[in-house]
Each structure stands twice: as C-alpha cells, then as structure tokens.
Amino acid sequence: MKKLFVLLLLLPVTVFTQEEKKVKNVILLIGDGMGLSQMSTAYYFNDGKPTNFSRFKHIGLINTSSAKEKITDSAAGATAFACGARSYNGAISVDTNLKKMPTLIEIIEKKDIKSGVVATSSITHATPACFYAHSNSRSNAEDIAKYLPKSGVDFFAGGGLKFFNKRSDKLDIYRELLKKGFILDTTALDPELEVRIAKKYGFLLADNGLESKLEGRGDFLKDATNLALTYLSKWEDGFFLMVEGSQIDWEGHATNAQGIIEEVKDFDKAMGEALNFAEVNANTLVIVTADHETGGFALSPKQTEDGWDYNTIEPKFYEGAADESVEYAAHTTTLIPVFAYGAGAEEFMGIYDNTEIFHKIMKLTGWNEAVVDENNQIKTNTPEINKRTFDK
C-alpha cells in the first residue's frame, strides 16, 4: 500500500484551471437540409478520400420541430440556433408574438467578441439572416439587408448583392456597409488576402445565391471559411463564426442526388478547415449540425431483375418528392445529428432540442453573462465596449 502511494505521488498531474476549460472561439457549421443520409454520402461518394466527419468523437441528435409546426423550415431552425428559442416557420429571430429576440451575435457584440457569417446562399437568406437580423418573414430580404451594416458582424461572405444595391426602395445599403468600415468585394474572394483586424470585410459575389457546385462554384466555401478564421483569430478576445452549406438543401428540394453529393463534399472541405484550426488553437469548439432534413433522402440498394444489388447504392427520395404536381420536395422531421470537436465537445452528446445548441454554447463560453436579463433581452445598461481600433 505504501509503495502504491509513493508511485501515485510520482505520476504527473495535470491541473486544469477554469480559464483553460472555458471556450474562447466557436465555429458552427450548418449543412442546410443535411440529414444522416446526406452526411453519409461522404463515406460512399467521396472519391475514396477520408471524410472529416470521422474526426469527431462526440455526437448527439437534435429534435428540430418549430414552435407551431412539427416540421421546421430553415428560418425557425436557425432562429433556434441563434436565439435559443423556438418560433414559427418563416420567423427571422422573432418569437411567436413577433417580438425580437436577441441573437447570439447581438449578445457577443456587447462582450466585444468578433463574429463572421459565411453562406453559399444570399447572405440575407434564412439561416445567415437569423444570426444578425429580425423579420416577421424570411421573404423580406431587403429589410433583412438593412440590419447588416448596423449589426455586430465583422466578416461576411456569400451572395445577395442585389438586396444591397438594386433595391426597390432605391436605398443604397452597399454604401452603408462602406460607411461602417467594410472593405467589400463583389468579384472574387482571395483566400490569400492580407486581412487586418482593424477593418471589416464583406464579399457579395452574386446577385442572389452563389452558383451550385455542379455549376462550377469552386472552393468558395472552403476558402471563405479559411479566410474568416485567419481574420477572426487575430482578435485575442475570441470569436463566433457561422458557416452554412446552404445548397445541400436546395439540391434536396430539386431531388438532385448528385447535387447533394457534391454539396456535401464541399461542406466536408469547409469542416476540415475548421477542424484544422481547432487542432492548433486551444479553447476552440467546432459544432457541425443541420437545421432539418430535406427530401426524405435515402441511400438504397439498386433493384435489378435478380433482386436487390447490395453493392450498388442508388440514392432515392421519399415517394412523390419528384412529382410534377409539387413545386419541390419538402423537409422532413427526422432527428438531426450533431458533431462536436474541441473544448466542451462532450456537452453535445445525447438527444435534445435544437434550441440547446445556443444554450450549450452560452454555458461553455459565458458570453451571455451580465448581458441578457431574466426576460431573455439584452440589458439596456450594458456598456458598449469600444476596443475595435487595435490592429494586429
């Protein structure tokens, strides 16, 4: 017994302080419309390459139903992630009484935490919009655009240029972004761009959504994720980055299996950038999930004259999804996987509501401490922090 006690004294002891445990950076990647079958294409149609999904060790499931519908849409799904509360389908960060709910980016702005939003859709589309804007309807793209210049977003990349400079009300929101200190580009995103933390950066690379992967979008999502991380990591107080693979959902609506496969491959590359960053930057948390599943997508065996061919996968959608009588395939309400990596990843295991993504982030970071009151509103007496003049 005495020998055992001496041996234990000689063993190295690792002491984790509260500061070391606290999450400083959060990267949330959302594969819009990406259910388990869409994600699984990375294992069967990835050109023999390993998928970054295999790098995750902590996995959970979320229920995605909205406040009024069993089957959610992207707006209600993203509102749950951005605000931690359920609302109705179509809501952009407002509750069922049309009251604005504070978004994650609005909350962390009070703490002087940097933020970024990247999407392959318009930057005013449902998912990205929920993190910085408020609207009774996701269809109000021009109204949503007006929030971006006055938001706490420091870096954004996606499409949607026409909602800023070709508006029906003739307002020039593009100029408003310039006035707020954004360096804007409407032609290309240079992944090697030398970014400075004293500036803000915005990329509006299409009038509406970007091209699909099948149409030749290239590595925009991977490059934008990498550039966003290069920029945001220059801020010593931490950051939040939301990256959306928007068009996994669009290809699901179109019942285009090859389109889903290519969009998931693209999303996988962006995940790789986030995971590579987290590997070398302590106190970084990476979360990968989806707002819902689209199309009842399944990886089925091919049917032949001799029966089922279990060596040939033939992706399919729910019966009737491609009927000419319907405009597009619908969402489904299957539970959605959550993958977590890095600091605090174990918190995301289990089965829970989609709103818990927000609350788990806040618990691990402490970002809402002394900022949000008991009514889930930003405190009016919270002092504005103005440290954003320091350049690195």
Give the residue numbers annotated as catalytic, written as ranges: 74
Residue 121, amino acid: S
Residue 8, amino acid: L
- What is the rounded CA–CA span in Å between residue 180 and residue 149? 6
| Residue whose C-alpha is closest to residue 63's, from 52, 72, 74, 55 | 72
- What is the rounded CA–CA span in Å between residue 24 and residue 20? 9
Beta pairing, strands 114-122 & 239-245:
parallel
Q: Is 204 helix (H, G, I), strand (E, B) or coil?
A: strand
Distant-in-sequence, close-in-space partners of 172: CB < 8 Å, separation ≥ 6 = 164, 165
What order do you get walking across the sheet with 336-342 strand by strand? Answer: 182-185, 200-204, 155-159, 114-122, 239-245, 25-31, 284-289, 336-342, 58-63, 350-353
Inter-residue contact 148 to 123 (CB < 8 Å): yes
Instruction: For residue 297, report the phi and psi dihedrals to the nearest 5 degrees.
Output: -65, 135
Inter-residue contact 83 to 93 (CB < 8 Å): yes
Joined tokens for residue 268: 């996988």
| Residue whose C-alpha is closest to residue 127's, from 272, 226, 30, 231 | 30
What is the signed CA dihedral for 332, 333, 338, 344, rounded to 10 degrees?
Answer: 150
Instruction: For residue 239, report the phi and psi dihedrals to the nearest 5 degrees.
Output: -155, 165
Q: Is 79 helix (H, G, I), strand (E, B) or coil?
A: helix
